[in-house]
Chains A and B, each alone.
Chain A
């Protein structure tokens, strides 16, 4: 009897504890659960009365722009909810989006509107997301086929960006450069002039690796004139050669390094400080995407002092520029699909997000409000639109554990760049044997 009483007591204790533990996790799926109900409600009338449906329920947008939560998003929320009175929109900001969103998706319960980057293979889209082909945009949009699988579009680009030279006009003036360089030789000459004037010509931010991405993805695109060089690696046993697009691109960086046209010590660079230095004219140029323009202005440069021109990758005189997508909006297939789609359409067409973020609008006939983009387009660059990534090439690179940022670093610092290429080609070939069977 006594034993039974104590047993009972203990089990009650355990139960209450378990309940306490479970409470948090029980709260979490609630939005998704209610979301499900509302989609069922909203999709049924949608089928009967095409077009004029009442959108209802809650839409949660998981965003990477934590800086906009409670500020710009608050205003977005008001404007959106005014247009669609039945819908409540919620913004949830998380840091380190790529990693954390993956974890959320893996749990099976994730917000209605997500951002997707390069991390998720296209073939996985139908497992998680709803096709977005039925959103009626007012005009043609960029990157329709990039996040598509089996002819269905699962992601809408939130804006595009291009890559070129962001420069400080005051610094160029001080160095006596009157016209922006149109060929590679002119570029080297201009950089030398900057150096002679005591200005660091090109801020590479070499140490941080990611600013070297332009040399991996974009300069090869400009050199080759096609954007699929990363995918083409899958067909080759030796994708990294000196006379190939990568070798050519990285050799330009190596030349700049050898001539002392980068920071004084490339292994000791500071990204946050470099923005201030470019703004103040201590550093002359960046080779980065147009997104950096706003950040340079935020760090104290006057908008009219910051210019943007296409990077001349050769001596031909015609300039090319890649057109790269930013994050893509995707819609959770188990969420509040109809309202989420309306939100995506609204973000693209009416929010004004791309001007705020300094991106090129997704709608092809919409003009950007950024002065620097107008200057850039004034040089008539030939735009090369990025294509869908190839899962095989990514799989091989992952299997071989090739971090291309590090390859560039080694290539530039090494006494014998060919040996670095040989080393990574060997890794590539071995991994390719395992992946492609």
Chain B
């Protein structure tokens, strides 16, 4: 039946029917909930009652005026810091494993494997590593004579770095694989020409490698930044925000507000604020990186 129609019409039908399904799914499961979230952020809904009162910007005022809510963002700084180190290490490994190293496929696989594991499972495993009395890390340090009493997850000053280091272990391989792909796309004649001109390895890295993977660094930083802002599973499983709230993250705060304090309106407003912060931080990042690329 379709074949009798003119080619143009057939094409239109095919395009529309192919596009309609993903569009429909996108609209129902992504855009509609997002819009609903924004609508809820202007109400005082308690999560259950049928009436939702419109209260304007009061939830947003609360988010910005309550230091208890906005202050937890400073716990995310640790994840930023570790995230940047993670990217530098990833580039290093990518370059090393891009060379003619024996067993490089094995090492690539080894570094990438943690990314495949489920986040909660990883958190559980590290619970045993960082345990103060029975943990393997303290056991190892004790054997080396470095003191086996450190409370890795119970010291306010570095609990976030402990948690971020797990993120490092988990995502470094992923960053590395992306860098590796970018490195392989750089034509080798560039390096050959540079060698003929007498460039050393550092010069080759600075003037050939870096400019070529600039876009990819940007992408990886984007992933790191959003990851750092939205970190949730590690502190939720390992410390439950403790000790005394020192490792609570913004997303945990949102969940607590919604499901423990029954304030879905405020929690929605917090989610919208998180969304805006991500966009904001990324725009700043883009602004600074743009000039050099």
Hey, which bits of chain A sit against chain B, CB under 8 A? 2, 5-6, 9-10, 13-14, 17, 21, 98-99, 102, 105-106, 119-120, 124, 207-209, 263-268, 270, 273, 397-399, 401, 403, 406, 409-410, 413-414, 427
Contacts and interface: CB of A to CB of B under 8 A. Distances in A.
Closest 8 CB pairs of A and B: A267-B154, A265-B132, A268-B132, A398-B261, A410-B244, A267-B243, A409-B244, A265-B151
Contact of B12 (A6, A17, A99, A264): A6
Contacts of A17: 20-21, 24
Nearest to B156: A413
Interface of A is mostly: helix
Contacts, number: 97
Interface size on B, as a range, is 35 or more
Given A106-B47, A268-B133, A409-B243, A401 B154 contact: no
26 contacts: A2-B5, A2-B6, A6-B9, A6-B13, A10-B16, A17-B20, A105-B48, A106-B47, A106-B48, A124-B49, A207-B153, A207-B239, A209-B242, A264-B133, A265-B151, A268-B135, A268-B151, A398-B261, A398-B262, A399-B261, A401-B66, A401-B68, A401-B69, A406-B244, A410-B245, A413-B244
B13 A268 contact: no
Interface in B67-89: 68-69
Nearest to A406: B245
Contact of A267 (B13, B20, B49, B151): B151
A265 B150 CA distance: 9
Interface stretch (B90-98, B189-197, B252-260): B252-260
Interface string B31-73: 0000000000000000111000000000000000010110000
Nearest to B152: A268
Nearest to B159: A267
A413 B151 CA distance: 14
Given A10-B17, A17-B21, A265 B262 contact: no
Interface in B215-256: 239-245, 256
A413 B134 CA distance: 22
Interface of B: 5-6, 9, 12-13, 16-17, 20-21, 24, 28, 47-49, 66, 68-69, 127, 130-135, 151-155, 239-245, 256-257, 259-263
Contacts of A401: 66, 68-69, 256-257, 261, 263
A17 B19 CA distance: 13
A403 B256 contact: yes
A270 B129 CA distance: 12
Contacts of B243: 207, 267, 409, 413
B189 to A, nearest CB: 52
A148 B50 CA distance: 21
Nearest to B248: A406
Contacts of B152: 268
A208 B240 contact: yes
A86 B263 CA distance: 43
A120 B242 contact: no
Contacts of B17: 10, 13
A124 B49 CA distance: 8
Contacts of A10: 13, 16-17, 20
A265 B154 contact: yes
